[in-house]
């Protein structure tokens, strides 16, 4: 496909993609295989991580809609999906709250609970970041892997020129074609990997910000014995009973 795009409108030549790769020999095929693995791995990570992040963000809506209306963390946790990132934070907070009484100093208790939530958040962030180093590696190394194929192709062209004593097109077309194809494939593998890495990193940062705010709200809720809740959610919880009271009662049947 790449060769067809590059040679569109040009006269038919003896060398195509397969012929160019055969000219490069086992080394060219090995480099192509490595880059195919890199490309497939990059798209696999992009797709799986995208849906994983989407699931975490959609689960956050449950936190906004119903979690803070519960009278306690345990009751609120029952409204969250099991094995979710947000449920993990709440469960770890509940565990830290149960161990709160074992701390002799209030400052030590606060630090213990803050540290427990931070460890839980770090674990979730580490899981969300899984696979991203592979994307970064592909984005950084794929052009150089393609460049290796380019160097080998140019070397073969020079060897053929030296052996034949003349730089005719039919002698160097195959090696040079292979060299250019390898360069193009290296770029086609690297560019999507870089875009995927930056895109997923941005979404991870957003999730991390949401988790940090959620952890802070949980800590404030525990330390204030339930008196401090997020302002927006608390306002929505107060507005709900008013809306229910203002709703007209159904007419009685005669």
231 within a domain of the structure (yes/no)? no
Residue 234 lies in a domain: no
Distance separating alpha carbons of residues 57 and 202, to the nearest angstrom: 13
Residues 55-78 as b/e (b if ≥16 CB within 10 A, e otherwise) read ebeeebebbeeebbeeeebeebbe
Q: Domain tally for the chain?
A: 1
- What is residue 164's predicted lDDT score, i.e. its pLDDT? 66
- With H, G, I as helix, E, B as strand and everything else as coil, classify residue 247: coil
> Domain range holding 52?
2-7+17-224
**What does the pLDDT look like over 18-59, one tens digit per residue?**
776 776 678 788 888 899 999 999 999 999 999 999 999 988
pLDDT at 241: 46
> Is pLDDT above 90 for 100?
no
Residue 243 lies in a domain: no
Residue 248 maps to a domain: no
* Portion of the chain with pLDDT greater than 70, in percent: 73
Q: Mean pLDDT, to the nearest integer, of 89-113? A: 75
Helices (H), 69-131: 73-77, 85-98, 106-128
Range from 37-46, 157-166, 214-223 carrying the lowest mean pLDDT: 157-166
Whether 43 is in a domain gets the answer yes
Both tokens assigned to 251? 């007419």
Residue 196's contacts (CB-CB under 8 Å, 6 or more residues apart) are: 42, 43, 45, 46, 135
* 209 in a structural domain: yes
pTM here is: 0.74
In a domain, 236, yes or no: no
Query: In which band, very low, low, confident or very high, does the pLDDT at 75 lie, cut at 50, 70 and 90?
Result: confident
What local confidence, expressed as pLDDT, does residue 98 receive? Answer: 77
pLDDT recorded at residue 44: 96
């Amino acid at each position: 496909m790449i060769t067809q795009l590059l040679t569109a409108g040009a006269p038919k030549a003896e060398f195509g993609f397969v012929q160019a790769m055969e000219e490069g020999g086992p080394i060219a095929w090995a480099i192509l295989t490595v880059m195919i693995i890199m490309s497939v791995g990059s798209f696999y990570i992009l797709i799986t991580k995208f849906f994983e992040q989407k699931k975490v963000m959609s689960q956050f809506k449950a936190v906004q809609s119903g979690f803070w209306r519960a009278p306690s963390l345990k009751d609120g946790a029952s409204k969250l999906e099991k094995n979710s990132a947000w449920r993990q934070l709440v469960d770890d907070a509940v565990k830290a709250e149960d161990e709160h009484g074992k701390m002799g100093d209030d400052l030590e208790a606060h630090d213990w609970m803050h540290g427990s939530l931070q460890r839980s958040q770090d674990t979730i962030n580490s899981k969300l970041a899984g696979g991203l180093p592979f994307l970064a590696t592909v984005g950084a190394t794929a052009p150089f892997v393609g460049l290796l194929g380019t160097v080998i192709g140019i070397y073969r062209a020079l060897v053929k020129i030296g052996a034949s004593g003349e730089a005719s097109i039919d002698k160097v077309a195959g090696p040079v074609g292979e060299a250019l194809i390898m360069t193009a494939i290296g770029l086609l593998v690297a560019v999507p990997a870089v875009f995927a890495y930056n895109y997923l990193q941005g979404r991870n940062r957003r999730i991390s910000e949401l988790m940090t705010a959620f952890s802070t709200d949980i800590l404030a809720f525990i330390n204030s014995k339930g008196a401090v809740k997020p302002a927006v959610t608390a306002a929505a919880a107060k507005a709900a009973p008013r809306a229910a009271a203002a709703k007209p009662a159904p007419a009685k049947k005669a």
